[in-house]
Amino acid sequence: MKNLRVFFFALLLLASPLLQVARCQSDSDAEVADTAEEVSDLGIVGEDAQDFGDGNFSPAPGVDTVCVFPKNSARLVLAGEETELLVGMKNDGELPITVIGIRATVHLPIDHKLLVQNLSAQGFNNATVPSSAQATFPYIFGVSKYLQPGSFDLVGTIIYEIDQHPYQSTFYNGTIEVVESGVFLSMESVFLFTLGIALLVLFGLWVNGQIQNLSKKTKRAPKVEVGTGTRDASMDEWLQGTAFTQSQSQKSKKKK
């Protein structure tokens, strides 16, 4: 039973990071939902409609960004299919922000210099975030269907202007899991299935232990020791001279 308790405790420790990740993602979803302010007429355009340029700009002070994968806390991306994420932007500056567009790239996790794929850029027309306001912008992307399943790093940036000066902020720089189309399984489902199997195994071991303990108790019988008729010499000395020793000597004489 002690080993079972240790195993169950270790299982809970292994499961806690996954639960923490799911809870943090839910908190991020709620934060974006609460802080997002509707922006009228975003005017989303394709990647060919606007040129972002190849320059790298610095982030503007007073601008915060957050990224959420809706209903996809495990950040699973199906190869060859579209994936949506939401970019939340908060403007704490004094001037309004004009959002130009969003772009992203996929890199190998071992080295960001190894570029795997340039994802499609998405432009916006008439998208502004006033001072002391917040807004949410959708970004839909798709990795190549020929990309091998595995872990990759996604780097996403949002490009904007303040007083006609270009800036950019990285809203996401982390890992995504690319999987083949048709084998989409959320981490929560895998965890719950594994946890269920582990609990069934623990319950089976506990029931087996109880049955073995019960069978051992039923098989036990009281042991009755039968004397061999031998007596200790010290006992004979203690009984010497009593009626018991005299009767024993008479019996021995008769047998002779």
So what's the pLDDT on residue 38? Answer: 43
Between residues 36 and 50, which one has the greater pLDDT?
50
How many Cβ atoms are within 10 Å of 230's Cβ, its own excluded? 5
What are the Cα distances from residue 60, in Å, to 49, 93, 122, 165? Answer: 25, 9, 20, 10
Query: Taking the chain, what is the end-to-end CA distance rounded to the nearest angstrom?
Result: 66
Confidence at 173, pLDDT banded by 50, 70, 90 = very high
Between residues 216 and 152, which one has the greater pLDDT?
152
186 Cα distance to chain centroid: 10
Q: Does the predicted TM-score (pTM) go above 0.75?
A: no
Length, in residues, of the chain: 256
Q: Which helix (H) or strand (E) holds 164?
A: none
> DSSP character for 149?
S
Instruction: Report the percent of the chain where pLDDT is more than 70.
Output: 60
Tens of pLDDT, residue by residue over 52-108, are 656 689 999 999 999 999 989 899 999 999 999 999 999 999 999 999 999 999 999
Tens of pLDDT, residue by residue over 108-126, are 998 888 999 999 999 998 8
So what's the pLDDT on residue 141? Answer: 95
Lowest mean pLDDT among 37-41, 84-88, 159-163: 37-41
The yes-or-no verdict on residue 219 having pLDDT over 70 is no
So what's the pLDDT on residue 214? Answer: 80
How far is Cα 126 from Cα 140, in angstroms, rounded to an integer? 19
Lowest mean pLDDT among 8-12, 179-183, 202-206: 8-12
